[in-house]
Amino acid sequence: MITREEYNKALDIVEAYQKQIFISDVKDILYWNDLKIGSKVLFTKTMTKYLTEGKEYDVIFVDTDWKETPNSYFEIIADNNKRKFILKHAKGYLMSIV
């Protein structure tokens, strides 16, 4: 039988592993915490035809809980002149702050 201590230790290991995978998915969290309105974002990989790889985009909105929440988002104007919301940890996008 598994004891309560062994169960809690296993949960801690799983949680640490999930955090490690989640953080390495896009970029370093501390680096992304610097994002603010007026920052420039450069995409090296995109999942939409309305963003150009290698082009810089101005950030026009940053979610109020950007630093605290992994599911927060920011906004840019895409190539089709429409607002594009992008999640902090969006799959299929590689980007950096310029």
3-state SS of the chain is CCCHHHHHHHHHHHHHHHHHHHHHCCCCHHHHCCCCCCCEEEEEECCCCCCCCCCEEEEEEECCCCCCCCCCEEEEECCCCCEEEEECCCCCCEEEEC
Angle at the Cα of 72 from the Cα atoms of 67 and 76, rounded to 5 degrees? 105
- Give me the tens of pLDDT residue by residue for the chain, a chain 98 residues long: 889 999 889 888 887 776 665 544 444 444 577 889 999 998 888 888 999 999 999 999 999 888 888 788 999 999 999 999 998 878 888 888 88
List phi, psi (to 5°) of 40. Answer: -110, 135
What's the predicted TM-score (pTM) here? Answer: 0.65
Token representation of residue 21: 């995978």
